[in-house]
Amino acid sequence: MKLFRYGQRGSERPGVLDSAGKLRDLSNVIADVAGAALAPESLARIAALDLSTLPEVPAGERIGACVGGVGKVICIGLNYADHAAESGAAVPVEPIVFMKATSALCGPDDGIIIPKDSQKTDWEVELAVVIGLEARYIDEANAMDYVAGYCVANDLSERAFQLEGTGQWVKGKSADNFGPMGPWLVTKDEVADPQNLHLWLEVDGHRFQDGSTETMVFGVAYLVAYLSKFMTLQPGDIISTGTPPGVGLGQKPPIYLKPGQVVRLGIDGLGEQTQKVVTYESTL
Protein backbone atom coordinates (compact mmCIF):
# COMPACT_ATOMS: atom_id res chain seq x y z
CA MET A 1 0.00 0.00 0.00
CA LYS A 2 1.24 3.47 -0.90
CA LEU A 3 0.16 6.32 1.36
CA PHE A 4 0.84 9.99 0.70
CA ARG A 5 -0.06 13.50 1.82
CA TYR A 6 -1.19 16.30 -0.45
CA GLY A 7 -2.06 19.99 -0.35
CA GLN A 8 -0.46 23.22 0.76
CA ARG A 9 2.47 23.00 3.13
CA GLY A 10 1.27 22.83 6.71
CA SER A 11 -2.26 21.73 5.81
CA GLU A 12 -1.67 18.46 3.96
CA ARG A 13 -4.39 15.82 3.79
CA PRO A 14 -3.93 12.02 3.77
CA GLY A 15 -4.25 9.92 0.65
CA VAL A 16 -3.69 6.46 -0.79
CA LEU A 17 -2.76 5.24 -4.26
CA ASP A 18 -5.28 2.78 -5.68
CA SER A 19 -4.53 -0.23 -7.90
CA ALA A 20 -5.20 1.82 -11.04
CA GLY A 21 -2.67 4.45 -10.03
CA LYS A 22 -5.30 7.02 -9.01
CA LEU A 23 -4.75 9.29 -6.01
CA ARG A 24 -7.55 8.83 -3.47
CA ASP A 25 -8.39 11.01 -0.46
CA LEU A 26 -8.32 9.34 2.98
CA SER A 27 -9.55 12.30 5.03
CA ASN A 28 -12.74 10.49 6.09
CA VAL A 29 -10.72 7.49 7.26
CA ILE A 30 -7.69 8.95 9.07
CA ALA A 31 -6.79 12.49 10.10
CA ASP A 32 -3.25 12.26 8.73
CA VAL A 33 -0.53 9.81 7.74
CA ALA A 34 0.86 10.17 11.23
CA GLY A 35 0.91 8.79 14.76
CA ALA A 36 -1.66 6.10 15.52
CA ALA A 37 -2.65 5.88 11.84
CA LEU A 38 0.67 4.11 11.25
CA ALA A 39 -0.10 1.26 13.67
CA PRO A 40 -0.60 -2.21 12.14
CA GLU A 41 -4.34 -2.33 12.89
CA SER A 42 -4.88 1.07 11.26
CA LEU A 43 -2.91 0.12 8.16
CA ALA A 44 -4.85 -3.16 7.93
CA ARG A 45 -8.14 -1.23 8.10
CA ILE A 46 -7.06 1.03 5.22
CA ALA A 47 -5.86 -1.94 3.18
CA ALA A 48 -9.29 -3.58 3.54
CA LEU A 49 -11.14 -0.59 2.06
CA ASP A 50 -12.63 -0.51 -1.42
CA LEU A 51 -10.39 2.33 -2.56
CA SER A 52 -12.48 2.97 -5.66
CA THR A 53 -15.20 4.42 -3.40
CA LEU A 54 -12.91 7.14 -2.02
CA PRO A 55 -12.87 10.63 -3.57
CA GLU A 56 -10.15 11.29 -6.14
CA VAL A 57 -7.54 13.92 -5.33
CA PRO A 58 -7.93 16.92 -7.66
CA ALA A 59 -5.35 17.11 -10.43
CA GLY A 60 -2.35 19.35 -9.86
CA GLU A 61 -2.27 19.11 -6.08
CA ARG A 62 1.14 19.42 -4.44
CA ILE A 63 2.47 16.20 -2.88
CA GLY A 64 3.87 16.83 0.59
CA ALA A 65 6.20 14.87 2.83
CA CYS A 66 4.66 11.40 3.09
CA VAL A 67 4.58 11.41 6.91
CA GLY A 68 3.10 14.08 9.16
CA GLY A 69 3.64 14.94 12.81
CA VAL A 70 7.22 13.66 12.73
CA GLY A 71 8.79 13.80 16.18
CA LYS A 72 12.36 13.19 15.10
CA VAL A 73 14.49 12.41 12.05
CA ILE A 74 17.39 10.17 12.99
CA CYS A 75 20.18 9.82 10.43
CA ILE A 76 22.94 7.25 10.09
CA GLY A 77 26.30 8.45 8.81
CA LEU A 78 28.76 6.55 6.62
CA ASN A 79 26.53 3.48 6.48
CA TYR A 80 27.85 2.29 3.10
CA ALA A 81 31.46 1.13 3.12
CA ASP A 82 32.18 2.59 -0.32
CA HIS A 83 30.71 5.96 0.67
CA ALA A 84 32.92 5.99 3.76
CA ALA A 85 35.91 5.38 1.48
CA GLU A 86 35.04 8.25 -0.87
CA SER A 87 34.65 10.51 2.18
CA GLY A 88 38.10 9.54 3.43
CA ALA A 89 36.62 7.99 6.58
CA ALA A 90 36.98 4.59 8.18
CA VAL A 91 34.06 2.16 8.02
CA PRO A 92 32.27 2.65 11.36
CA VAL A 93 32.33 -0.19 13.87
CA GLU A 94 28.94 0.90 15.21
CA PRO A 95 26.32 3.25 13.74
CA ILE A 96 27.12 6.96 13.57
CA VAL A 97 23.95 8.71 14.71
CA PHE A 98 22.92 12.34 14.20
CA MET A 99 19.66 14.26 13.89
CA LYS A 100 18.06 16.37 11.18
CA ALA A 101 15.64 19.12 12.22
CA THR A 102 12.01 18.29 11.41
CA SER A 103 11.67 21.82 9.95
CA ALA A 104 13.83 20.55 7.04
CA LEU A 105 11.12 18.11 5.91
CA CYS A 106 9.33 18.89 2.65
CA GLY A 107 7.59 17.30 -0.30
CA PRO A 108 9.43 15.11 -2.80
CA ASP A 109 9.25 17.67 -5.59
CA ASP A 110 9.63 20.87 -3.58
CA GLY A 111 12.65 22.96 -4.55
CA ILE A 112 16.09 22.49 -3.03
CA ILE A 113 16.85 25.81 -1.36
CA ILE A 114 20.57 26.61 -1.18
CA PRO A 115 21.04 28.18 2.27
CA LYS A 116 22.28 31.72 2.65
CA ASP A 117 26.11 31.84 2.45
CA SER A 118 26.29 28.24 1.22
CA GLN A 119 28.91 27.14 -1.29
CA LYS A 120 28.78 23.38 -0.73
CA THR A 121 25.21 22.08 -0.91
CA ASP A 122 25.33 18.35 -1.64
CA TRP A 123 22.92 15.48 -2.38
CA GLU A 124 22.37 12.06 -0.77
CA VAL A 125 19.74 9.54 -1.86
CA GLU A 126 18.69 7.38 1.08
CA LEU A 127 16.24 4.71 2.16
CA ALA A 128 14.12 6.11 5.00
CA VAL A 129 12.37 3.87 7.52
CA VAL A 130 9.13 5.04 9.16
CA ILE A 131 8.30 3.75 12.64
CA GLY A 132 4.76 2.47 13.25
CA LEU A 133 4.81 1.39 16.90
CA GLU A 134 6.57 2.74 19.97
CA ALA A 135 9.87 0.89 20.37
CA ARG A 136 12.06 0.79 23.44
CA TYR A 137 14.89 -1.70 24.12
CA ILE A 138 13.78 -4.09 21.41
CA ASP A 139 15.73 -6.97 19.85
CA GLU A 140 16.89 -7.16 16.25
CA ALA A 141 14.89 -10.36 15.80
CA ASN A 142 11.56 -8.54 16.23
CA ALA A 143 12.60 -5.04 15.17
CA MET A 144 10.65 -5.17 11.92
CA ASP A 145 7.40 -5.49 13.90
CA TYR A 146 7.83 -1.81 14.77
CA VAL A 147 8.29 -0.59 11.19
CA ALA A 148 5.32 0.88 9.28
CA GLY A 149 7.09 1.24 5.95
CA TYR A 150 9.67 2.95 3.80
CA CYS A 151 10.15 5.99 1.60
CA VAL A 152 12.69 7.79 -0.56
CA ALA A 153 14.71 10.53 1.15
CA ASN A 154 17.19 13.10 -0.10
CA ASP A 155 19.42 13.83 2.90
CA LEU A 156 20.68 17.16 1.58
CA SER A 157 23.84 18.46 3.22
CA GLU A 158 25.82 21.68 3.34
CA ARG A 159 29.35 20.35 3.66
CA ALA A 160 31.01 23.49 5.01
CA PHE A 161 28.36 23.79 7.74
CA GLN A 162 28.72 20.07 8.43
CA LEU A 163 32.48 19.54 8.40
CA GLU A 164 34.24 22.87 8.78
CA GLY A 165 34.47 25.08 11.87
CA THR A 166 32.95 23.17 14.78
CA GLY A 167 32.03 20.32 12.42
CA GLN A 168 28.55 19.59 13.73
CA TRP A 169 26.61 17.40 11.28
CA VAL A 170 23.19 18.62 12.42
CA LYS A 171 24.07 22.14 11.21
CA GLY A 172 24.84 20.87 7.74
CA LYS A 173 21.71 18.74 7.48
CA SER A 174 18.90 20.91 8.83
CA ALA A 175 18.33 23.84 6.46
CA ASP A 176 14.83 24.43 5.11
CA ASN A 177 13.85 21.88 2.42
CA PHE A 178 16.88 19.70 3.21
CA GLY A 179 14.60 16.71 3.87
CA PRO A 180 12.42 15.77 0.87
CA MET A 181 10.41 12.64 1.79
CA GLY A 182 8.21 10.54 -0.47
CA PRO A 183 6.27 10.60 -2.68
CA TRP A 184 4.88 7.46 -1.03
CA LEU A 185 5.08 5.84 2.35
CA VAL A 186 5.20 2.24 1.10
CA THR A 187 4.03 -0.19 3.75
CA LYS A 188 6.49 -2.91 4.68
CA ASP A 189 4.35 -5.72 3.24
CA GLU A 190 5.19 -4.38 -0.25
CA VAL A 191 8.95 -4.50 0.35
CA ALA A 192 10.15 -8.10 0.32
CA ASP A 193 13.69 -7.25 1.43
CA PRO A 194 14.78 -3.74 2.46
CA GLN A 195 18.37 -4.92 2.04
CA ASN A 196 17.90 -5.50 -1.68
CA LEU A 197 16.74 -2.16 -3.08
CA HIS A 198 18.33 -0.27 -5.95
CA LEU A 199 18.72 3.46 -5.30
CA TRP A 200 20.02 6.19 -7.62
CA LEU A 201 20.40 9.95 -8.06
CA GLU A 202 21.01 12.20 -11.07
CA VAL A 203 21.88 15.88 -11.42
CA ASP A 204 20.89 17.41 -14.78
CA GLY A 205 20.61 13.91 -16.22
CA HIS A 206 24.05 12.73 -15.08
CA ARG A 207 23.87 9.74 -12.77
CA PHE A 208 26.13 10.25 -9.77
CA GLN A 209 24.72 7.66 -7.37
CA ASP A 210 23.80 4.11 -8.39
CA GLY A 211 23.83 1.66 -5.52
CA SER A 212 22.00 -0.96 -3.50
CA THR A 213 20.92 -1.22 0.12
CA GLU A 214 22.59 -4.63 0.18
CA THR A 215 25.90 -2.83 0.73
CA MET A 216 24.78 -1.15 3.96
CA VAL A 217 27.16 -1.66 6.86
CA PHE A 218 24.22 -1.89 9.29
CA GLY A 219 20.86 -3.14 8.02
CA VAL A 220 17.40 -1.82 8.80
CA ALA A 221 16.50 -4.31 11.55
CA TYR A 222 19.82 -3.76 13.31
CA LEU A 223 19.42 0.03 13.18
CA VAL A 224 15.89 0.00 14.58
CA ALA A 225 16.94 -2.21 17.50
CA TYR A 226 20.17 -0.28 18.07
CA LEU A 227 18.47 3.12 18.18
CA SER A 228 15.77 1.85 20.54
CA LYS A 229 18.45 1.35 23.17
CA PHE A 230 19.29 5.06 23.22
CA MET A 231 15.89 6.70 22.67
CA THR A 232 12.26 5.69 22.44
CA LEU A 233 11.20 5.41 18.81
CA GLN A 234 7.68 6.73 18.31
CA PRO A 235 5.13 6.34 15.51
CA GLY A 236 6.05 8.65 12.65
CA ASP A 237 9.73 8.88 13.57
CA ILE A 238 11.97 8.60 10.51
CA ILE A 239 15.32 6.81 10.28
CA SER A 240 17.36 7.87 7.26
CA THR A 241 19.73 4.95 6.77
CA GLY A 242 22.71 6.42 4.89
CA THR A 243 23.76 6.94 1.29
CA PRO A 244 25.76 4.97 -1.30
CA PRO A 245 28.82 6.49 -3.01
CA GLY A 246 28.58 9.25 -5.59
CA VAL A 247 27.88 12.34 -3.49
CA GLY A 248 29.26 15.68 -4.64
CA LEU A 249 31.87 15.72 -1.85
CA GLY A 250 33.33 12.49 -3.22
CA GLN A 251 33.92 13.76 -6.76
CA LYS A 252 37.42 14.76 -7.83
CA PRO A 253 37.28 17.70 -7.59
CA PRO A 254 34.11 18.01 -5.47
CA ILE A 255 30.93 19.15 -7.21
CA TYR A 256 28.13 21.02 -5.48
CA LEU A 257 24.62 22.06 -6.45
CA LYS A 258 23.99 25.31 -8.32
CA PRO A 259 20.77 27.29 -8.88
CA GLY A 260 18.80 26.09 -11.89
CA GLN A 261 19.98 22.48 -11.73
CA VAL A 262 17.48 19.62 -11.51
CA VAL A 263 17.97 16.67 -9.17
CA ARG A 264 16.18 13.35 -9.77
CA LEU A 265 16.40 10.38 -7.44
CA GLY A 266 14.55 7.21 -6.65
CA ILE A 267 14.42 3.77 -5.11
CA ASP A 268 12.92 0.81 -6.95
CA GLY A 269 9.36 0.24 -5.77
CA LEU A 270 9.30 3.35 -3.59
CA GLY A 271 8.98 6.07 -6.20
CA GLU A 272 10.97 9.05 -7.49
CA GLN A 273 11.61 12.66 -6.58
CA THR A 274 12.43 15.65 -8.82
CA GLN A 275 13.75 18.91 -7.36
CA LYS A 276 14.86 22.18 -8.92
CA VAL A 277 17.69 23.99 -7.15
CA VAL A 278 16.91 27.58 -6.16
CA THR A 279 18.63 30.27 -4.10
CA TYR A 280 17.53 31.29 -0.64
CA GLU A 281 17.06 34.84 -1.88
CA SER A 282 14.58 33.73 -4.56
CA THR A 283 12.23 32.37 -1.87
CA LEU A 284 11.94 35.69 0.00
The answer to whether 2 and 130 have CB atoms below 8 angstroms apart is no
Mean pLDDT, rounded, for 108-118: 97
Q: Residue 82 — pLDDT band, cuts 50, 70, 90?
A: confident
Q: Map out the domains of the chain as residue ranges.
A: 68-283
Residue 215 burial by Cβ neighbours in a 10 Å radius (0-12, 13-18, 19+): middle
Q: What is the pLDDT of residue 84?
A: 76
Q: What is the pLDDT of residue 203?
A: 98
Q: What is the pLDDT of residue 106?
A: 98
- pLDDT at 145 > cutoff 90: yes
Per-residue pLDDT tens for 271-281?
Answer: 999 999 999 99
The domain over range 68-283 is classified in CATH as 3.90.850.10: yes
203 forms beta bridges with 206, 263
Q: What is the pLDDT of residue 224?
A: 98
Q: What is the pLDDT of residue 166?
A: 84
- pLDDT at 213 > cutoff 80: yes
| Contacting residues for 54 by C-beta, under 8 A, at least 6 apart | 16, 18, 24, 25, 26, 28, 29
- pLDDT at 38 > cutoff 90: yes
Q: What is the pLDDT of residue 284?
A: 83
Per-residue pLDDT tens for 241-263?
Answer: 999 999 999 999 999 999 999 99
Q: Where are the beta strands (DSSP E) in the chain?
A: 2-6, 13-17, 23-25, 73-77, 96-100, 105-106, 112-114, 121-122, 125-131, 147-154, 157-158, 179-180, 185-187, 198-203, 206-212, 238-240, 262-267, 271-279
Question: Quick one: which of 14, 21, 24 has its CA closest to 66?
Answer: 14
- pLDDT at 111 > cutoff 80: yes
- pLDDT at 88 > cutoff 90: no
Q: Rounded to two decimals, what is the model's pTM?
A: 0.96
Per-residue pLDDT tens for 122-134?
Answer: 999 999 999 999 9
Q: What is the pLDDT of residue 76?
A: 97
The CA-atom distances, in angstroms, between 164 and each of 90, 169, 199, 217, 269 are: 18, 10, 29, 26, 37
Q: Residue 50 — pLDDT band, cuts 50, 70, 90?
A: very high
- Round the average pLDDT of the chain to a whole number and report it: 96
Interatomic CA distance for residues 172 and 22, integer angstroms: 37
- pLDDT at 86 > cutoff 90: no
Residue 71 burial by Cβ neighbours in a 10 Å radius (0-12, 13-18, 19+): middle
- pLDDT at 87 > cutoff 80: no
Q: Compute the half-sphere exposure of residue 101: CA atoms within 13 Å on the CB side of its CA.
A: 13
Percentage of residues in the chain having pLDDT higher than 90? 94
- pLDDT at 165 > cutoff 90: no
- pLDDT at 178 > cutoff 80: yes
- pLDDT at 168 > cutoff 80: yes
